[in-house]
Structure 1
Amino acid sequence: MEGMKWRRTPNEGGEPSYAPSEREIAGGETSDTPQNETEGGKEIQVTIDPDLLDCSICFQPLCSPVNQCEHGHVACHSCWSKLQQKCHVCRAPVVSRSIALEKILESVHIPCTYAHLGCRKSVSYSQRQVHTDMCEFGLSLCPIPGCAHKASSGEWWEHFLEDHLDPSSYYSYGQSIGILLNEEDLYYALFGPGDDLFLLVKESIPNVGIALSLYYIDLPHRDQNVFPYELKELKYQTTGTTPKKRRGKLYQIPDFL
C-alpha cells in the first residue's frame, strides 16, 4: 500500500479536473492531514492499492490512453494492441477510453523510492520508474573494475577506506599533490576534507594510449557547482573543470595521454 495524493481543481467550465500537484515529501512519509486547502482547489490524502493502477496483463503502471471493453475491463494500450482489441477477461471488444481513470492516473503522485535517502520529490505514479532510474539520490555502482558494490551519497568514503585504500592520498583544496600510478595500478583514490572523495581511473585504449578518467565519487557537504583541476604528466598537461550536476552520482571527465 502506498500513500498517494490527488488534487481537485475547477476548470473553466466548472467541471473538476485532476491535475498533478507539486509538493515535497521528506523522509518518504506522507502527511496525516486528510485534506488541505490549496490555491484553486483541495488536496486529499488517500491510501489505495497500487495494483489497481497497474495493467492487469503486463503489471506495468497504466498511463494514457487507457482503453476499456464494453464491460469495463481495462488494460494498457500496448497489451490491447497485442490482443487485437479483444478483452482478455470476457473477450468483448474494446470500445472506448476510460477518461475517468486517466484523470485519476494523472492526479496520483507518490514519494520517490529514495525518499529515505533525502529525495523530496513527489512523482507521477506512471512515471515513478523513470524518476527512480535518474534520481540523484539513487544507488550508483562503484567505478573500480570488478567491484560490484553499490552505494548512495555519503556512503562512499567508508567503502573506499575498507576496500580501495591502496593506492590513495589525502588532499587539501588549493594545494598540489604528486600522484604516482604504477603500471599495474588501475585507479588512485583521493580523500579530501569533509568526506569529499575523488577517483582517478586508468584505462588502456587500443591504438590510442592510456586514458585517465577523473570522477568525483562523493561530495556530501559541498555546495560548489564547479571544481577546477589540473593534471600533468611529464610534458603533457590538461586543464578543465568538473561540473557538479547531481549529488551521489558518478561523473566522468576523460583525458587521454
Structure 2
Amino acid sequence: MAAKRRKTQIPPPPKKETGAGKEIQVNPPPPQEEIVVTIDPRSLECSICFEPLCHPIYQCILGHVACRLCWKKIENKCSTCKKPIGGQNIALEAVLESMRLPCPNANLGCCKSLSYSQMQLHKDRCEFTQSVCPIPGCAHEAFSGQWLAHFVKDHWNHGYDYSDSSHQNYGTPCTIRFDFKDFEEDRYYTFLGPGKDVFLLVKEAIPNGTALTLYYIDLPDLGRNYIECELRVQGGPSLSSSLQSESQVVSIQEWKRGEVHGSSLLLPSQFLLDGYMMVNVVLHKEKR
C-alpha cells in the first residue's frame, strides 16, 4: 500500500468590521491534511463471503474481520483461527466511511462520489449502469430507466399493467393460468408499475418441482419505496391444494438460473396433477 500526504489549502475568511469601523483579521484555521493511498481492494473484502466490507464490521479476538451476517452464519467463531468474536472494529468502519470513491460509471456521465460503504448500493441503482436484458436469447442493452419501452415492445406476450392512474399504490391482484404446456419450459411474465417500474415473474423448473420468483428490473425510486409481492398458487386435483408467500421483491441481478433463494415460492410436482394451476400475484408499494 503506497501513501503520500498532501495539504488542502483553505482560503482565509473575509475581514470583519466592528461598529467603530475597525477591521479585525481572524486567523484562518490550519490547512486540512489528507492522505492519498493506493489499496488492494481485496484487503477490504469480508474474509468469508468476499463481498466489500460494510458497517457494522466485527472482528475476532486476533483481529480477523468479517461482515455481521457472516459472523452469524459461522456462529460467531472466526473461520480463519476459530477464535470467538471480539467486538466491533470501529476504526476500520471510520476508515471505510471516510474513503470517497468516484462512481465506476463516471466515464458514462455519473458525477457522484460516495463512501466505500455506500458504493455497492449506489452501483446497483446508478442510472448510468448499463445491463443486458435478462430474457434468454435477448441481447438488448439499456440503462436504468430505459427498460420500460423495451419490454413493452419486445416482451409483451405475457404482460400485466399496473401503471393505470387508479393503481398508484398497486394492490390489484392479477391471475395467471399455467397449463401443462407452460411447464415444459421456463416462462417470463412482465409487470409494469407507475412511472418506469418494471418487474419480471420467472417460472423455472427445479428438481422435483417449480420455482416462482418476482424480480424488479427497473425501480428508479427504490430508495424511497418498499416493494412487496404476494404469490398465491392453487393446484393439484381440482385445485384443492394451495401455497402462498409474501416477500420483498429482489433485483434481477440476484437471479441465477436453476437456483432459488428466500424470495422464491417452491411448488412440488403434485401441483400439476390436473394439468394446470392458477397463480395470483399482488404487488404492494409503500413509502419508506
TM-score, scaled to structure 2: 0.44
TM-score for the superposition, normalised by structure 1? 0.49
Relative contact order, higher structure (CA 8 A, sep 6+): 1
Higher helix share: 2
